[in-house]
């Protein structure tokens, strides 16, 4: 109430009139007059000397007006600063993302974004864990799968597939499976969401011999390249190794789970311009190719 009264008082002084101040404020003249009287009563001083023709500030009123005017200017400046933030992306952007996605895509995308919007700075954490953006003060948490908290907003970035791969040395030693059934007993390199007993195949329960479990798909790829076993790898993570012959794709018709990547953030309402602009920039920058959405397949691993 004190701030409202200070605004009314300031407008009355600047208009030299209760009537004009009331018009500007969209209030009744009687309401403005009553609010000034209540303000003086609360402060225990007379701020204005009134006659039928003019208003004159008292000495105390002049000092109070100068302080109130500065407060109003600071308030207007604060509003303007917020509005400018919504017109041009600026400020600190806090992001978390899966390690491989950050290494393959996010660094380049964020660099181009910051070059286009030089008022943006960024803090990025690459992590395999799920992040609560509200609890940890993160603007955007990029992660595999939708959040468990239904109050958060999840924007789907893309979905992608996996392929079964092994090194030429492994296949020379253990044989090349020609059918899904022949996978039974083969040495398996698995990711956390994969069953420890079965190959990660949709609609199939083919036993595997687990030799390695890990939560990092680059590690899984390198283990497969070294001949440790067969791995169900995200397409983009394995593409260079397949093209170079370090890995060989097995059973291309095998259906592995589809992985979905989401951008998680607290709310669409009053969303900061920096967040909205970066999400749109990220969506426009992501690759759209057969490496993301092969027929019947499922870059990233899906949740169980």
Assign residue 16 the CATH number of its domain.
1.10.10.10
For residues 77 and 197, state if they share a domain. no
301 domain-assigned: no
Whether residue 256 is contained in a domain is answered as no
The count of domains in the chain is 3
- Name the residue range of residue 243's domain: 162-250
- Whole-model pTM: value is 0.63
For residue 84, what pLDDT band results from cuts at 50, 70 and 90?
low
Give tens-digit pLDDT for 135-174: 888 999 999 888 877 778 899 988 878 999 999 999 999 9
Helices 2-15 and 18-25 pack at an angle, to 10 degrees, of 130
Banded model confidence at residue 6, pLDDT cuts 50, 70, 90: confident
Query: Is 269 in the same domain as 156?
Result: yes
**Are residues 212 and 222 located together in one domain of the fold?**
yes
Closest CA to 299 of 131, 253, 288: 288
56 and 117 in a single domain? The answer is no
- The residue count of the chain comes to 304
Whether 295 maps to a domain, the answer reads no
- For residue range 183-232, what is the model confidence (pLDDT) as tens digits? 998 999 998 878 888 999 988 889 999 999 998 889 999 999 999 999 99
Note whether residue 291 is domain-resident: no
Phi/psi at 91 (5° precision): 100, -175
Q: How confident is the model at residue 83 (pLDDT cuts 50, 70, 90)?
A: low
Query: Do 170 and 156 belong together in one domain?
Result: no
CATH number, domain at 276? 3.40.190.10
Q: Kindly write down the DSSP assignment for every residue of 204-216, as one continuous string.
A: ---B-EEEEE-S-
Give me the torsion for CA of 167, 202, 189, 158, rounded to 10°: 80
What is the distance between the alpha carbons of residues 5 and 19, in angstroms, rounded to a whole number? Answer: 16
Strand, helix or coil for residue 263 = strand
Q: Are residues 49 and 186 in the same domain?
A: no
Most distant CA pair in the chain, distance: 106
How many angstroms separate the CA atoms of 129 and 120, rounded? 26
Indicate if 278 and 134 belong to the same structural domain. yes
Most confidently predicted of 31-35, 133-137, 208-212, 255-259: 208-212
């Amino acid at each position: 109430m004190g701030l409202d009264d200070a605004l009314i008082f300031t407008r009355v002084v600047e208009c030299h009139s209760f009537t004009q101040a009331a018009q500007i404020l969209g209030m009744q003249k009687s309401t403005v007059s009553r609010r000034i009287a209540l303000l003086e009563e609360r402060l225990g001083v007379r701020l204005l000397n009134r006659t039928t023709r003019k208003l004159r500030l008292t000495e105390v009123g002049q000092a109070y007006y100068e302080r109130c005017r500065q407060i109003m200017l600071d308030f207007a400046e604060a509003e303007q600063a917020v509005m400018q933030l919504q017109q041009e992306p600026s400020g600190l952007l806090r992001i978390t993302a899966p390690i491989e996605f950050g290494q393959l895509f996010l660094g380049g995308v964020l660099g181009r974004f910051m070059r286009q919007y030089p008022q943006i700075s960024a803090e990025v954490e690459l992590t395999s864990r799920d992040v609560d953006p509200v609890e940890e003060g993160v603007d955007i948490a990029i992660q595999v799968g939708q959040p468990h908290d239904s109050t958060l907003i999840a924007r789907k970035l893309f979905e992608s597939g996996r392929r079964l791969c092994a090194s030429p040395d492994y296949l020379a030693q253990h044989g090349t499976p020609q059918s899904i059934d022949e996978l039974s007993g083969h040495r398996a390199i698995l990711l956390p969401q994969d069953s420890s007993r079965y190959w990660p195949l949709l609609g199939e329960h083919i036993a595997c011999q687990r030799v390695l479990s890990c939560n990092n798909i680059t590690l899984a790829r390198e283990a497969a390249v070294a001949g440790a076993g067969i791995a169900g790898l995200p397409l983009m993570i394995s593409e260079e190794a397949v093209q170079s012959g370090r890995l060989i794709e097995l059973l291309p018709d095998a259906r592995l789970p589809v992985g979905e990547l989401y951008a998680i953030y607290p709310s669409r309402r009053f969303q900061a311009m920096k967040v909205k602009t970066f999400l749109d920039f990220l969506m426009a920058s992501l690759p759209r190719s057969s490496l993301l959405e092969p027929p019947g397949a499922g870059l990233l691993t899906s949740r169980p």
